[in-house]
Structure 1
Amino acid sequence: MITTELAKARSAFEAGDYVDALMVLNGLMDETRDPQVLLLLSDVFEKLGFDMDAAELLAELGKSQADDALTLRAAKLFFKAGDEARGQLHGMTLFERKAHDRDIAFLLAQSFRKGPDPRFAQVFLPSLHDSDEEAHLSLAIDLAMSNEHNPTTLSIFSRYADLAPEDPYRLFNLLFVARNFCDFDRIAAIEARIAEALRLGDAELLAGESPYANLLYCGDERINRLATNNGAPAQISPAALARQRRSRPHRWGEKIRIAYLSSDFWEHHATMTLFQRVLELHDRDRFEITLYCYTPPHLKAFDEGGRERWGWPIVSLIGLSDAEAATLIRQNETDILVDLKGPTSDARLGILNQMAAPVQVEWLGFPGSVVNIDCDYVIGDKVVLPGSARPSYHEKFCRLPDSYQPNDPLHRPLPAAKSRAEVGLPGDRFVFASFNTPRKISVPVIDAWSAILRGAPDALLWMMIDGETHRANVLKAMADRGVDAAQILFAPKMAYADHLARLQAADLALDTFPYNGHTTTSDQLWAGLPVLSVKGTNFASRVSESLLGAIGLPELVAKDTTDFIAKAIELTTRPEEIARYKAHLREQRFRAPLFDAERFCRHLETAYRTMAERAQSGQAPDHFDVPALPPRTEPFATRPI
């Protein structure tokens, strides 16, 4: 009887008559719980969309039959039905026995990364690491990126790139991760491949690279513009958008209404470390400021009162589309929209392509042109934006007189110096320092630093490198270039004030190129540590020259890499010169323009008035330089150290 009815149900199932099959099987269930009946019934339930019922039967069968394949099917169906808890329960039962099974690991990782603590999904990364499946490696990449020190990250990106060697996006993702891990052999190999492609005229390759990543090794502004991944291309050309935007009617008020746009509005972000005092000093009789904020909640949680102290309205854009955000900015009659991000992580440049304001400006967040974005001006200075750079920008140059970079002399910590003994440095050795992010250490930089250490064998290089793999790669690169590991000292990350205190224990900071230290350089100068840099060829590589000029030490800009190496070696033998530089920084900290936030703010406001006056009178944007206020004759501030 059971055999006949089961055959009848199977025949109906195979014919696609799932309801008929269900009716027959329901009758059988009154007489038996034969595994064949249960298995066919689960198949019928799944076909009819009753995923939870199918999962429960498969879980029962998997347990009674000790059949892992059935348990895996049950877990998948629980997940499909939305029962994450039971899906994880049965999946983990399998994973305990089969941690090597990539399908099980993939299933569980997908579930746990959606849970309250996504970090638990990291447990499954080793199981996915060696897979050749696209989906497995793609998920492994997502998991690995949440932990920049995970030693498997680089090999995962390498395997993923190997699956599609002609895919430029995978190639440049691998290159970026290699930079984070200081894998200079891999970096050199990929850069050689890029150079050969460009030599052969294959510039389309760069469409797979982000603008920021390109700046880490390329100092050619003509090429920088070709790296467009992560951009926000306009539906029509930025020039056509600009014409439409500028022709829209606009009501100008007595005060100039400035909107700052960013995801970094919390006081300890590097941007606000520089900018917050200038923001506070804006003339409230002449300007109305609004901060349009899409700062993630978990980052706002790090703010310790800055958002209230700045004293301007903060309007959240979270949950709004770019078009909706632009409409809001427009409805608030914004005169000048200033984007503080550029094409960097989490930016919302698409808002600028929605005709948000009569004048649109890029400043501070990205050292270069924003390609495919409707933007009128880029704010810089005569060093970072020389006239020769104009052909590489569609924006007009607004050049401030001292430096493009604001600085905060009030809220920035200024702790007493830590002794060498406190930071683990010997008292009788010359100490070079490098506290830039490791990804800025290019192959030419590691070559130059190695030459310096070979030429000054008693000197040490103190580097902020975290992670055992990262440090091992640096030591290998140095050893390959003839430098003993005993000349390298590693420093961990630490709290900002403690970091500024330890900087003062070094003798001289060595800059990176072609991407200089930006906030890092100003931090070092603020702390009283002189910085040796190299004359650059694009915005990112000219920043330290700008900052050194604004603090009165232009002689610390070498004319080229050869000069950089020679100056560094020479300064190890001239302690009196190092002492003079440090004394100059102490004396000029509250005199020179670099840290004079009030002076900077007045220059910036002059720039905004010029932009607004041109727009209000119907004139198109054009290049202009802001005239300098008279030099200070007295310190602009005093603070105890």
Structure 2
Amino acid sequence: MSVENQEADRAFALGLTHHQAGRLNDAEDLYRKALDLVPTHADALHLYGVLRAQSGDFTLAADLVERALAAQPENADVWCNLGAIYRRAGDLGRATQMLTRAIQLDPNLADAHNNLGNVLHTQHRWHDALGSYQKALELAPTVDSLCNASIVLLYLGQISNAVTLTRRAEQLEPNNPLVQACMGSVLSAVGRLPEAVAAYRQCLELDPSNVDARYNLGVTLEQQGDWTGALESYRATLVSDPAYIRAMSATLFMQRRLCEWDGTRELFSQVLDAIDQGRRGITPFSFLAEDSTPAQQLACARLWSADIEGTVGPAVEAAAPSGKGASDRITVGYVSSGFGDQPTSRLAVELFEHHDKMRFRTIAYSTRRHPDSPLKRRVHDAFEEWVDAESLSRQALSQRIIADGVDVLVDMRGYQDQAVSEVFAMRSAPVQVSFLSFPATMGADFMDYIVVDPFVAPTNQQENFAEQFAYLPHCYQPNDTQRRLPDQRPSRAQMGLPDNGFVFCCFNNSYKISPEVFDSWMRILESVDDSVLWLLNMNPAASVTDKLRREAAARGISGDRLIIAERMPHAEYLGCLAVADLFLDTWPYTAHTTASDALWAGCPVLTRAGESFAGRVAGSIVHTVGLSELVVDSAADYETIAVQLARQPERLAGFREGLVKARDSSPLFDMTRYTRDFESALEHMVEHQQAGKPPMGFSVDRDTS
């Protein structure tokens, strides 16, 4: 061996020692010294390439390892590391080729299986990724493969198995930042949020560059109600990685919730660019709060649904047609996490109660446990069968639904939190329907129909929906006519309101309050002397109240004219609506359940109808109850009518009297008629499917309703 080779080997060996100890600069100097002495030194090329990849220089890293591979074409470790580099560089095709070759050369190379799992994970092929991780664990269990498998198990809904693997990883290396990040994810999944926050913070102390942990810390803080802390984490994630799409989406939505409007236009523009570029990660539900078009909402939802379809293994078979006879009952499964004292139940409970048990067998698949309440008991008792599905994996829930012989599976969560969209992606029923909770397309081929009405979804919008329209003749949104109003209307003083002056109110969620809406509100207050605006503080821990009062002052309106109510029991909340003079709706995301509550309490609702489903729901509700003149098309008309009504008490009183009568006469509150229409729609869907026809839009005939 030449002197140069000997010196190169010594430099390489010392560089390797520094590399293993994390002293990357020293290691790089020695690897380069080895290569200066022997430019074809394969080991130095290989590990110098690995080091450059650790520093984020994937182009140089790939070039170095390719040169090492030319010298050692049968070295499985080199193929393996080159595959890992290409994965991090975003070239998943070449990464797969490299890792497959590594496994061919050495089937027992655990790192190759783990790295292939990472590629599959990046492609959202969860089942395939899990198979690779499990193979790696069989060969050589490491913290990396244990945590990787655990995260995939969480995606697949196998939480108990994820906990087991994470505990194994913690026993091996309790101070490994990867372990703490994984522990945070697991603890969050089982609802132990303070411990999850602590785990994420510990991870970030050990590794401040972990953007996934920083983003997940934000998610967990948001779940705890710490909106300000969540926004700080999301923003910090974007500082570290401006291309982190989920953090971009979460930052924009959290700014909406906190009414921190500075910079939202720029963020929204970035979100639109991401969707146009086909980049996944924008949350479809939060996107509805933006001034987005139905076509943009479809594009966003299609990207999201593609991720969901990636969680479904190729071996999953769709539910077969039931082959029911004409005399058999139709089995309808309702899937929701909102079967407690929640808006979903407040709207739909009477539909469940009115179902014709002679023609329909109804099953509730409850994906979240709720505290006992009178409303929860009503919902529970309305169903023929009740399945507590919170602890079931997505696959197990799908199998249960198929075993139950469900003909129509109704998704009452859509893309909101705690959704189980994977169950629908598995084709758990012959007919699958989106209903009530998600006011937009799900952009998914696995959803057949969406329940709509002619106002919320004009026929010219069908092209912007993946689902076929199932039109009900009146408003698509049901109502509970057993909502108890206060026996005695509370006084203004009891509600913290001034004795005199007109009371405008809006009890919508804060994320629906756009700066454009707020501008209109302030102009209305300026035009109506002694009027006040009554809002609801959805999160006392947040600073929304102070923020909105400052925004009012900046527009020349005293912050004292904004009256802020805290969250309260539903019956008290209905009493508030009975005291208010006029409900001012928001746009582009209008009131839904809140609009129904206001009208039921006798408070007229002024709304501006937009182009999207979410922007037309209040218009449908108000139109159906007979107050079409309160549905306007422009901000100018909205402001004009609000001011007119404040100055015309007789006209406003006529609206209120009409609402009292509407409780007994309007289709909006006729749940017997509504249920008959809804059941006609279900029967049409099943008959169409039984005839072997693909989903096709239809309308329930108004004359038979």
TM-score normalized with structure 2 length: 0.68
Which of these residues, 176, 185, 197, is aligned with residue 262 of structure 2?
Answer: 185
Deviation at 1:167, TM superposition (A): 2.2
1:458 aligns with 2:500: no
Deviation at 1:587, TM superposition (A): 1.4
1:418 aligns with 2:495: no
Q: Residues 447-485 of structure 1, C-alpha deviation per residue, up to 9 Å, x if partnerless?
A: 222222233243211111243511122122223333221
Deviation at 1:413, TM superposition (A): 4.6
- In structure 1, the partner of 2:411 is 339
8 Å contact from structure 2 (residues 491, 579) kept in 1: yes
8 Å contact from structure 1 (residues 219, 536) kept in 2: no
Secondary structure, counterpart of 1:371 in structure 2: coil
Deviation at 1:498, TM superposition (A): 0.5
Residue 194 of structure 2 aligns with an amino acid whose one-letter code is R
8 Å contact from structure 1 (residues 259, 289) kept in 2: yes
Residue 372 of structure 1 aligns with an amino acid whose one-letter code is A
Deviation at 1:322, TM superposition (A): 3.1
- In structure 2, the partner of 1:166 is 243
8 Å contact from structure 1 (residues 241, 355) kept in 2: no
Change (3 A) 1:463 1:114: closer
- In structure 2, the partner of 1:638 is none
1:547 aligns with 2:624: no
1:369 aligns with 2:369: no
Flag the structure with more relative contact order, 1 or 2, with Cα contacts below 8 A and sequence separation at least 6.
Answer: 1
Residue 667 of structure 2 aligns with an amino acid whose one-letter code is P
1:255 aligns with 2:329: yes
Bigger mean CA offset, 423-432 vs 222-231: 222-231
- In structure 2, the partner of 1:351 is 423
Change (3 A) 1:396 1:428: same
Residue 523 of structure 2 aligns with an amino acid whose one-letter code is A
Bigger mean CA offset, 471-480 vs 144-153: 144-153
* Equivalences for residues 280-359 of structure 1 within 5 A: 280-295=353-368, 297-298=369-370, 304-359=376-431
Task: Give the distance between the partners of 2:587 and 2:427, measured in 1 at CA.
Answer: 36
- In structure 2, the partner of 1:68 is none
Deviation at 1:416, TM superposition (A): 3.1
1:561 aligns with 2:638: no
Secondary structure, counterpart of 1:278 in structure 2: helix
* Equivalences for residues 390-405 of structure 1 within 5 A: 390-405=462-477
- In structure 1, the partner of 2:233 is 156
Task: Give the distance between the partners of 2:201 and 2:374, measured in 1 at CA.
Answer: 32
8 Å contact from structure 1 (residues 232, 349) kept in 2: no
- In structure 2, the partner of 1:495 is 569
8 Å contact from structure 1 (residues 381, 400) kept in 2: yes
Task: Give the distance between the partners of 2:518 and 2:202, measured in 1 at CA.
Answer: 35
Task: Give the distance between the partners of 1:121 and 1:319, measured in 2 at CA.
Answer: 19
- In structure 2, the partner of 1:587 is 661
8 Å contact from structure 1 (residues 440, 512) kept in 2: yes
Deviation at 1:502, TM superposition (A): 1.5
Task: Give the distance between the partners of 2:198 and 2:466, measured in 1 at CA.
Answer: 48
Task: Give the distance between the partners of 1:545 and 1:606, measured in 2 at CA.
Answer: 24
- In structure 2, the partner of 1:272 is 345
8 Å contact from structure 1 (residues 615, 621) kept in 2: yes
Task: Give the distance between the partners of 1:496 and 1:471, measured in 2 at CA.
Answer: 21
Change (3 A) 1:257 1:106: closer
- In structure 1, the partner of 2:513 is 441
Aligned length: 533
Secondary structure, counterpart of 1:368 in structure 2: coil
Unaligned runs of 5+ in 1: 1-13, 15-48, 50-76, 88-101, 632-641
Q: Residues 428-451 of structure 1, C-alpha deviation per residue, up to 9 Å, x if partnerless?
A: 111110100101112321222222
Task: Give the distance between the partners of 2:451 and 2:283, measured in 1 at CA.
Answer: 21
Change (3 A) 1:300 1:160: farther
Q: Residues 403-422 of structure 1, C-alpha deviation per residue, up to 9 Å, x if partnerless?
A: 00011112555543211111
- In structure 2, the partner of 1:134 is 210
Task: Give the distance between the partners of 2:702 and 2:547, measured in 1 at CA.
Answer: 47
Q: Residues 584-621 of structure 1, C-alpha deviation per residue, up to 9 Å, x if partnerless?
A: 11111121111111110011111111112222223332
Task: Give the distance between the partners of 1:392 and 1:78, measured in 2 at CA.
Answer: 47
Q: Residues 504-532 of structure 1, C-alpha deviation per residue, up to 9 Å, x if partnerless?
A: 11110010111111001101111111110
* Equivalences for residues 108-257 of structure 1 within 5 A: 118-119=193-194, 132-134=208-210, 137-138=214-215, 140-149=217-226, 151-194=228-271, 197=273, 203-204=276-277, 207-228=280-301, 231=305, 233=307, 235=309, 248=321, 250-252=323-325, 254-257=328-331
Deviation at 1:133, TM superposition (A): 3.8
Task: Give the distance between the partners of 2:695 and 2:493, measured in 1 at CA.
Answer: 55
Unaligned runs of 5+ in 2: 1-16, 18-140, 142-166
Aligned-pair identity (%): 27
Deviation at 1:573, TM superposition (A): 0.9
Residue 423 of structure 2 aligns with an amino acid whose one-letter code is I
Residue 618 of structure 2 aligns with an amino acid whose one-letter code is S
- In structure 1, the partner of 2:5 is none
Change (3 A) 1:124 1:159: same
Task: Give the distance between the partners of 1:590 and 1:259, measured in 2 at CA.
Answer: 30
Task: Give the distance between the partners of 1:599 and 1:307, measured in 2 at CA.
Answer: 19
Task: Give the distance between the partners of 2:602 and 2:245, measured in 1 at CA.
Answer: 43
8 Å contact from structure 2 (residues 329, 358) kept in 1: yes
8 Å contact from structure 1 (residues 129, 140) kept in 2: no
Task: Give the distance between the partners of 2:485 and 2:204, measured in 1 at CA.
Answer: 43
More helix by percentage: 2
Which of these residues, 456, 475, 487, is aligned with residue 384 of structure 1?
Answer: 456
Q: Residues 198-236 of structure 1, C-alpha deviation per residue, up to 9 Å, x if partnerless?
A: 8xxx61366331111111013410001122465464659
Change (3 A) 1:567 1:127: farther
Residue 293 of structure 1 aligns with an amino acid whose one-letter code is S
8 Å contact from structure 1 (residues 218, 224) kept in 2: no
Change (3 A) 1:246 1:629: farther
Task: Give the distance between the partners of 1:176 and 1:518, measured in 2 at CA.
Answer: 19
Residue 628 of structure 1 aligns with an amino acid whose one-letter code is R
1:513 aligns with 2:587: yes
Change (3 A) 1:126 1:448: farther
8 Å contact from structure 2 (residues 271, 282) kept in 1: no
Task: Give the distance between the partners of 2:187 and 2:412, measured in 1 at CA.
Answer: 35
Which of these residues, 581, 596, 600, is aligned with residue 526 of structure 1?
Answer: 600
Residue 354 of structure 2 aligns with an amino acid whose one-letter code is L
Q: Residues 275-330 of structure 1, C-alpha deviation per residue, up to 9 Å, x if partnerless?
A: 011101111111111112222x3556896522442142012334433333233222
Deviation at 1:384, TM superposition (A): 0.7
Secondary structure, counterpart of 2:564 in structure 1: strand
Task: Give the distance between the partners of 1:116 and 1:356, measured in 2 at CA.
Answer: 27
Task: Give the distance between the partners of 2:553 and 2:585, measured in 1 at CA.
Answer: 21
8 Å contact from structure 2 (residues 218, 229) kept in 1: no
